[in-house]
Structure 1
Amino acid sequence: MAYYNREQEITNILKTHERNANRLLQKAQSSRLLEAFNTIWVSIENRELPVPISSNVMTFNADDIKSEIDEWIKDLKECQENAQRKFKSIEDPSPEDQSKCNNISSEVILLTSRYEGLKNTIDQVEQDFNNAVRTHRAPMREALTDISILYNSVNHVKGDFSDYKNVSVYVHGIEDSGDGFNESVRNAAKDGDIILRINRDDDEESREYYIVTLIKGEKVIKKVEGLNKLKDTEQYKEKMGRLHIIYETGKVNEHRQETSDDLAEKLNEMGLINEKTKIDMFGHSYGGRRSMQFAMDYPDHVRSITTIGTPYDTNILGSQANKHRWLADKAAGRDTTNTSDYLDFNEDNRNNDDGKDYSNAYTDMDSEAMSEDIHHLKSANPEVYQKLQKMDITAAAGYRTEDTVSFSPYYTASGKHRISSDDIVSVESQHGDILGDLIDEKPEFEVEGSGITDSGHIHETNDSDFVDLIRDVNKKEAE
């Protein structure tokens, strides 16, 4: 379809639109965007737009460009309305008059359709750019955090908690919050300790500070309103106790790498990534994967890792939720597309939601056992692997018992029998059997609960035996 086949009114409008398109594309300097425009322009004019692209950016303002195209559509519709009004005003219209009105209407319908298609293509290009940018954002963020850590170390920059030598960080699991650890940490903390809870919408006002003290021989936990008042307390000034950090991820289902990057950034701001401070990690469920990732990324700062109920292997329920998201979301009340900006380089570790690629805890548990990362690390960076070997790593498993009846041709036995699972994660996976000699201790604790909705898995962080383990680890590592 070329200019000479069109009514002059449409031709004039298209000339204006072409000038505007050239201006937009020169400003954007995106070959992908030019490709999208040319696909439409070839269908309209049988030729491409003569726009030189001297660079190739990966971002542009899609809303501004689509707004411009909306104006083009408005121009076409006004032309159509004017043609119809003019035709109706003619007392005795000729066949040529009728033909011109019809031609303009049909061309407007066709061109409007082309422009709407262009807007949809622009949305897709923008989403592709966003996916590409997110793929590269994570390593850039990690690199910037490493530079910040190095800067603080070289320049002896101190944070508010730099003088703490013994620090415990507690990381929750998938579809969870810090509430479970909040209770167990209170039970495990000792006189002189400080408890800091970093909530999901993290800012200084939302952080919660508590001091642990003895009053008449009984442990009392007091809330302190804000960091400035905490600094006036005896516990902060003497720094003889342990700092407990209950860390809540920015997104409930964020990928372990995103958690590691965010946690490193926050701990560095607090002054806890230094040569003297030793961090003891505690993780429940997927929080164990998150803790292990942090230890792999920052092995010089982690002294021990203690997990319970962690799916170190791929997880059946996680895999099913990842593959059948609509069912998991509606039937089980999950939020399987909840994620952060982290996007795994490995496309097998991604999922897609309306054009947006993402990687989160569900995609991770579906696609990759922790042993794969460990094997890669062992080959690429054996020094870090050796540091992991030297860490005290405890992988606790929860199990439960239930009333069962056993039948045989000779006898019937009933009573309580041990179920070698916490209903969610197998004991083998919780023990990290696939990680080989990295795991030093593999205790097992009987936990409450039954079934999927009230599984033993849910109750693991508050189990008295696990609280004792937290207490024992903290004491042992401090000594």
Structure 2
Amino acid sequence: MAYYNREPEITNIIKSHESRANRILQHAQSSRLLEAFNKIWVFIEGNKLSTPVSGNVMTFNVAEIKSEINNWIRDLKDCQEAAQRKLKSLEDPSPEDQSKLINIRNEAVVLVSRYESLKNTIEQVEQDFTNAVRTYRAPMREALTDISILYNSVNHVKGDFSDYKNVSVYVHGIEDDGDGFNKSVRKAAKDGDIIIRINSDKTREYYIVEIINGEKVIKRVEGLKKLKDSKQYKVKAGRLHIVYETEHMNEHRQATSDDLAEKLNEMGLMNEETKIDMFGHSYGGRRSLQFAMDYPDHVRSITTIGTPYDKNLLAIGANRARWLADSPLAKRHTTDTSEYLDFKEDNRNNDDGKDYSNAYTDMDSEAMTEDINHLKSANPEVYQKLQKMDITAAAGYRTEDTVSFSPYYTASGKHKINSDDIVSVESQHGDVLGDLIDEKPEFEVKGSGVTKPGHIYETEDSDFVNLIEEVNKKEAE
């Protein structure tokens, strides 16, 4: 643009905009924001803005700045409309009058385009900053939770459930919610137990378990106050079952560990006396193991079924072909994620400028053996605590009708297949975890093919419910 030959009306507007831009930059003191403005201003005025900036932080409100730039765009459009009205008001406009309108119109169009580009650049600055903040937020949050746990311990701060010694926590997998475990826990719970379901929207449901006329009855109690009035809460002779539904279906295991620790601490369960028995299905097993690595002094046992401790081929495919996995046909939610962002760039993905790490990126990039080996070398004390935990990795498998041919005979009938259609038995058994696994049971589960795989029926399988009962009884004793 020939900024040295502008119409006076446009020149005055730009001078006003430059003054307001300098005020914005003076307030923000962000070198990234200054860089964004200067990329545009060299095309507008032929020089950079004069505001000295000494900071690299982002203390500005992007919405407010974009609103200010929209005002600048309106200034230009108003100027264009005023020039057009003035030309129409002339009875016999001269060629110079017509040329002036054309110049104003052309200059306004170009400047509006520059300002729109500036808004897009500022959005990218905001996104880059947000990604950077999210990278560092997780360890800061974990540190604050650790401090809170330590404070409660030193000052003997008690929560509503601090007196419970035996606690079971149930964590679901990806593309799932707490419904599967909710059914299993109801079957496994005993007289005097309490069941708490923590939903993804942070609401809580409370249930008490009692025997009436020889039959197990599970009653919902409306609110914590009424729960405290119940015999089960006052006596505290039973077990506390917590069905934990993650805030995001596919959030990364570290995000679940951080969220769970914060909530359990609020409930008064992160203390020296309470022992937590973790139960995980599918990716919930990875989440449970992560929680145990983060808080080994509070976890007594881990029991998983169908957990892909190794990399998972379906997750790898879904993560790398998200357009297909998220299509109406597959109906996955591969970009559903929490605010957690892994430090390792290989463990991230990107969606319209937003970096994220979730369950899919995790199972694409890492087998759990990598974290275990890092833990063994960096923090052998925690690894030894994991070795002392009772860790059971159950595998679901299916049988199907097959025909076996050989040169000598043909056999048909039910044959065991080495997979539940989603996760191999080897991965479910946690063979990549070295010597951490104590028990590796196998349970036949119903299901068929990829559309209704055995994987989705594992938590409700009667053998696994029996395993929950056995673990809870054994660990309490």
TM-score after normalising by structure 1: 0.97
Tell me the residue number matched to 1:409. 407
Aligned to 1:235: 232
Q: Distance in 2 between matches of 1:10 and 1:209?
A: 67
Structure 1 position 159, deviation (Å): 0.3
Cα distance in 2 between the residues matched to 1:282 and 1:216? 31
* 3-state DSSP of counterpart to 2:106: helix
Query: Partner of 1:211: helix, strand, or coil?
Result: strand
1:202-246 CA-partner distances (Å, limit 9, x unpaired): 1xxx31111111223322222222111111222111111111111
Aligned length: 476
Return the match for 1:458 from 456, 467, 473.
Answer: 456
Deviation track 1:168-190 (CA, whole Å, cap 9, x = no partner) reads: 00000001111111111111111
Give 2:63's aligned residue.
Answer: 63
Aligned residue type for 2:167 = V
Where do residues 311-460 of structure 1 align in structure 2 (5 Å cutoff)? 311-330=308-327, 331-460=329-458
Q: 1:3, CA displacement in angstroms?
A: 4.8
Distance 2:262 2:220 in 1: 25
Rounded Cα–Cα distance in structure 1 between residues aligned with 2:37 and 2:54? 17
Q: Does the CA-based 8 Å contact 2:194-2:240 persist in structure 1?
A: yes
Query: What pairs up with 1:194-213 in 2 under 5 angstroms?
Result: 194-202=194-202, 206-213=203-210
Task: Please say if residues 254 and 338 of structure 1, whose CA atoms lie closer than 8 Å, have aligned partners that are also in contact.
Answer: yes
* Residue 84 of structure 1, CA deviation: 2.3
Q: Which residue of 2 aligns with 1:298?
A: 295
- Equivalent residues in 2 for 1:18-37, closer than 5 Å: 18-37=18-37
Given residue 299 of structure 1, which amino acid in structure 2 is its aligned partner? P
Q: What root-mean-square deviation, in Å, do the aligned CA atoms of Structure 1 and Structure 2 show? A: 1.2
Matched position secondary structure for 1:462 = coil
| C-alpha deviation, 1:102, in angstroms | 1.8
Q: Distance in 2 between matches of 1:300 and 1:10?
A: 69
Which of 87-96 and 286-295 deviates more? 87-96
**In the TM superposition, what is the alpha-carbon distance from 1:112 to its structure 2 partner?**
0.8
Q: Which residue of 2 aligns with 1:143?
A: 143
What is the percentage of aligned positions where both structures have the same residue? Answer: 81
Cα distance in 2 for partners of 1:150, 1:83 equals: 70
Decide whether the 8 Å contact of 1:404 with 1:416 is kept in 2: yes
Unaligned runs of 5+ in 1: none
Residue type of the alignment partner of 2:430? G
Q: Give the residue type in structure 1 aligned to 2:63.
A: D
Is this contact kept in 1: 2:175–2:249, CA < 8 A?
A: yes
- In the alignment, residue 382 of structure 1 is paired with which amino acid? P
1:437 aligned counterpart, secondary structure: coil
Deviation, 1:40, is 0.1
* Structure 2 residue 167 is matched with structure 1 residue 167: yes
SS of residue paired to 1:438: coil
Does the Cα contact within 8 Å between 2:31 and 2:54 map onto a contact in 1? no
In structure 2, the partner of 1:76 is 76
Instruction: Give how far 1:383 is off.
Output: 0.8
CA–CA distance in structure 1, aligned partners of residues 312 and 59 of structure 2: 37
Corresponding residue for 1:131?
A: 131
Matches of 1:13 and 1:221, distance apart in 2: 72
Q: Secondary structure at the match of 2:115?
A: helix
Q: Which residue of 1 aligns with 2:282?
A: 285
Q: Which residue of 1 aligns with 2:116?
A: 116
Contact 1:59 1:126 in 2 (8 A): no
Aligned counterparts of 2:3 and 2:183: Cα–Cα separation in 1:
75
Distance 2:470 2:58 in 1: 52
Cα distance in 1 for partners of 2:28, 2:434 equals 52
Rounded to whole Å, the distance in 1 between the matches of 2:287 and 2:380 is 21
Equivalent pair of 1:2/1:46 in contact (CA under 8 Å): no
Name the CA distance, whole Å, in 2 between partners of 1:322 and 1:165.
40
Matched residue SS, 2:270: coil
Evaluate the alpha carbon distance shift between residue 2 and residue 47 of structure 1 in structure 2; reply closer, same or farther with a 3 A threshold.
farther
**Structure 1 CA distance for aligned equivalents of residues 176 and 398 of structure 2:** 21
Paired residue for 1:244?
Answer: 241
CA distance in 2, matches of 1:313, 1:408: 34
Contact 2:3/2:44, CA 8 A, preserved across alignment: no
- Gaps (5+ residues) in structure 2? none
Partner of 2:471: 473
The answer to whether the 8 A contact 1:59-1:129 is kept is no
1:275 alignment partner AA: E
What is the CA distance between 1:91 and its match in structure 2? 3.7
Asked if the contact 2:29–2:59 (Cα under 8 Å) also holds between the matched residues in 1, the reply is no
Please give the alpha-carbon distance, in whole angstroms, between the structure 2 residues aligned to 1:303 and 1:189. Answer: 19
Note the C-alpha offset of 1:60: 2.2
Shift of 1:2: 6.2
Deviations 1:92-146 (A, max 9, x none): 4443333322221111111111011001111111111111111111111111111
SS at match of 1:97: helix
> Is the Cα–Cα contact under 8 Å of residues 307 and 428 in structure 2 kept in the other structure?
yes
The letter of the residue matching 1:146 is D
- The aligned residue for residue 275 of structure 1 is 272
